[in-house]
Structure formats: structure tokens, C-alpha cells
Amino acid sequence: MPRILITGCSSGFGQAIAAQFLDQGWDVIATMRSPSAAGLPEGERLKVLALDVTDPESIAAAVADAGQIDALVNNAGVGMLNVLEGADIDRVRELFETNVLGAMAMTRAVMPAMRTQRNGVIVNVSSSVTLRPLPALSIYSASKAALNAFTESFALEAAEFGVRVRLVLPGSAKATSFGQNAVARMGMDIPQAYGPFVQAYVQSLQSEAKKTEVGDVAQAVWRAVTDETAPMKLPAGADATALFREEGLPVG
């Protein structure tokens, strides 16, 4: 059976992606900082491993424990809803450590084996916020834009060795704990001068009718991993698909 390693499986998209691959008969290595099978389907094909993508020792141990894998999904990520002036720069660094360097470090860790076996797929979970400038998301968008740029260029290096690299860009999902986790970890101390502006923007976000479901992301990642003809960037969710169309990007 093919084997996939997914980061950030303690909640949200990670759990849905793990469930999708288990359902399709894959062996799944679901990784998370505090290992627990809660929220994941039970079964012999599921292995839960500890992994913090910002910790080199944790990465080395998880990749060694995982053994041979056919696919890696860099899904772990943190958000930040704030204007630049309200953001603590240490938190910004932390966010980039997870969203950008974490994905790079994981990719670097699995690449020697994939290069040698001349086979493998790496999918990075980015965001549709990278398609359009948005206020109060400048830092988060910058991290995901960096992930996009890294992924598209790295894909050329990996292709030399038969390894495919793809991006999935989800839209806004109300069903995950992403927003709450972002506020809990990164704070949301909006400077007073920006208060009404950010409040109006957040209200406009909440009133958007089109949104992304966790299943949309699981489906898009499934396609990115299993369909060799999938484009470099795949939208996930009705809102992301609408944005792709508005930007003239192929929707798959």
C-alpha cells in the first residue's frame, strides 16, 4: 500500500486529509505535536507520530520512524489576523518558522529518499489569500506567498528526480479551529487607530457566502497527490475556486 505522511493532524484539514487517504486504502502517518488518535478514524493503517515542524530533532525522529513514504503533505500552519503595527515581531518569526521553514525542513528531510527511489509527491497547503491583497492578513499572506514561491521553484529541482511537487490553496473554512488557534497563539492586539477598519474587514469576511469545507481540502490534496496531470496550484473550496476564476487561473 502507498504511504503518506501528513503534518498538523491534530485538527482541521489535517484530520480530513488523513481520513481521505485512509478511506482510499493508503497507509497514513498522521503527525502532530502532541500525539493522539482523537478525531482520526481507527485502523491498522493509521500510525500517529509526534512531530513539531520547527524542531530539527523532532523532524529527524519522525521521518526515521515513518520509514519509506510515497507522499508528504505539509499542512501544519498557523494564522495571524492583525495589522503589521499590532504584530509582535517574535510571533511573526514564529509564524514564518512554521508556515515556511517548517515546510522547507520537512521537504528537505524526505527528499533524499524520494530522490533515490525516483518517486514521490510533496503537497504544500498554502492559502487563497495569496491571490489577492487583503488587510490584516499581510503577515500570514506573506508567509503563504513565500511558501508558494518556494514550492514552484523547488518543484523544478525535484522534477529532475521524478518527484512531483504541488500546491493546494484552500479558501476560508469556518469549520476548523484555525481562527481561534491563530488568536490564541499569535494574539490579536489591534492598535486602536486601526480598530474600526479591522472590525469592518472582519465583518465583511464573516458575511461571505462562499466558503471552504474540510472535505474540499481533502479532495484537492487527494487530487494533487494522485493525479499526475493536476496543475501546480489547485483551489480547495467554493470561495477559492471563485477567486481562481477571477484571477484567470485554471481550476483543474
In the bound complex, what is the minimum distance in angstroms from residue 192's beta carbon to ligand NAP?
Answer: 27
In the bound complex, what is the minimum distance in angstroms from residue 174's beta carbon to ligand NAP?
Answer: 8
Residues at the interface with ligand NAP (CB under 6 A):
7-14, 32-34, 51-54, 75-79, 98, 102, 125, 127, 170, 172-173, 176-178, 181
CB-nearer residue toward ligand NAP: 6 or 198:
6
CA atoms within 13 A on the CB side of 200: 5
CB-nearer residue toward ligand NAP: 40 or 76:
76
- Could you give the CA distance from residue 209 to residue 239 in angstroms, rounded to a whole number? 8
CB-nearer residue toward ligand NAP: 24 or 181:
181
Catalytic residue ranges: 140
In the bound complex, what is the minimum distance in angstroms from residue 190's beta carbon to ligand NAP?
Answer: 19
What does the block give as the cell for 235? 483551489
- Could you give the CA distance from residue 127 to residue 3 in angstroms, rounded to a whole number? 25
CB-nearer residue toward ligand NAP: 119 or 202:
202
In the bound complex, what is the minimum distance in angstroms from residue 88's beta carbon to ligand NAP?
Answer: 17
CA 20 to chain centre: 15
Q: What order of strands is seen across the sheet that includes strand 3-6?
A: 46-50, 27-32, 3-6, 71-74, 120-125, 163-170, 233-236
CB proximity list for 57: less than 8 A, separation 6 or greater:
none
